[in-house]
Structure 1
Amino acid sequence: MPEPRRLVRPLESFVQELALCVATNGDRGPALLWPEDSETLPELLRIARPAYQQERWRYASDAAPPRTDGCPGKPGGPEAEPLLLASTLGALLELRVRPSFRFMRSMSVGEQQASSTVEHIVTVLEGACRCRLTRTDGAPGNTVDLRLRAGGTLFVPRDHAYALLDVHTPTVLMELLLSDPY
């Protein structure tokens, strides 16, 4: 019987850091994370993702992702790695986690993403953008502006919304959506 597929060490380290970040900040507010392992960003860039032409692409929660090279998918192939990353994080947090990728062209603006029922983890893989983070529950301290660059990860808890602005170079983001268990 084949051994279950595992994440490579830098991605495993990244998932553990994400789990700690979410567990620590989940009910306190947003957090900005820079991975401790210098090999994390190169490993994230190696993950198979859809073609750049699509603005946004999400994995179906109950189906294998399509391959990006036009070939039929193989179980456990590189195209399954975002799902493996999400399921590993989900197991640690005991939450449902779904991965997606967002591609933003120069001079584009991303629509505001509200987090009333889910939490978001946004990792910039390539490029950079400004992020405006706001509270949606009417509490004080409404808006924070920050610059996200390649390697940076933003945790956006429930009752917050974020908008991606000031994209001056093509930018690729990986988003993980955290929701209640099944």
Structure 2
Amino acid sequence: MDNGWAWVEDGAGLDLFVRDLALCLSVHRDRSPALVWPDGVDTVLAGMRGVPRQRADAELPGVAAGTADLTTGLGELLGCRVGSRYVTLPTGAEGPATAATDLVVLPVLGGCAGRVDPAPPGRARAALTRALEVRLRVGEALYVPRGFGYTLAGTRSPCTLLVLALHPPSW
């Protein structure tokens, strides 16, 4: 079966990527945003075969094409459900939002500016006291905790992002 991943035999690159993300989230989850450069990202990007397809995998609703192994592996390590989707930001786009669930934003084509605002009132565990502003490039991943406001902007050309949504387990 062709699952779209270049490493089919051992999955070492995907395993490194998933473990690096899980390690980052184990430190920052529900506390503060984080920027991470996970090992194995080249394998993950190669597995997407260039421009991401805009349809979802038939086997797993809410999982973007070519990301089923990634979402399953991350979900198993973190003990949660992980969904994914591709988002394309047109040139000059700017979109403020509030994370309804924990998010990991990973540029797969192009780059954009990212801003995560301080924690909303009542988030005593949150460590961020002022806005975090970053330039997201291919190979970098931005973690945005649930409830934090964030903005993606500053695209000079269209930018495609893979957004991973971390949902609590359903028992």
Within the alignment, does 1:106 sit opposite 2:106 as a pair?
Answer: no
Deviations 1:128-170 (A, max 9, x none): 1111111341377242211111111001112312110111122
| Alpha-carbon contact 2:111-2:138 (below 8 Å) kept | yes
Alignment coverage as a number of residue pairs: 158
| Alpha-carbon contact 1:10-1:43 (below 8 Å) kept | no
**CA distance in structure 2 between the partners assigned to 1:163 and 1:49 by the alignment:** 22
Runs of 4+ aligned residues of structure 1 deviating over 4 Å after TM superposition are: 57-62
| Alpha-carbon contact 1:114-1:160 (below 8 Å) kept | yes
RMSD: 2.9
Task: Return the TM-score normalized by structure 2.
Answer: 0.78
SS at match of 1:39: helix
Counterpart of 2:75 (choices 68, 85, 90) is: 90
Deviations 1:20-47 (A, max 9, x none): 1111111331110112347346425427
Query: For 1:53-92, what aligned pairs fall within 5 Å after superposition?
Result: 62-63=60-61, 79=65, 81-92=66-77
Counterpart of 1:150 (choices 138, 161, 164) is: 138
Unaligned runs of 5+ in 2: 1-7
Within the alignment, does 1:134 sit opposite 2:117 as a pair?
Answer: yes
Counterpart of 1:175 (choices 152, 159, 163) is: 163
- In the TM superposition, residue 7 of structure 1 has moved relative to its aligned partner by 7.4
**CA distance in structure 2 between the partners assigned to 1:41 and 1:85 by the alignment:** 8
- Provide the residue aligned with 1:18 in structure 2: 21
| Alpha-carbon contact 1:124-1:150 (below 8 Å) kept | yes
Task: Return the TM-score normalized by structure 1.
Answer: 0.73
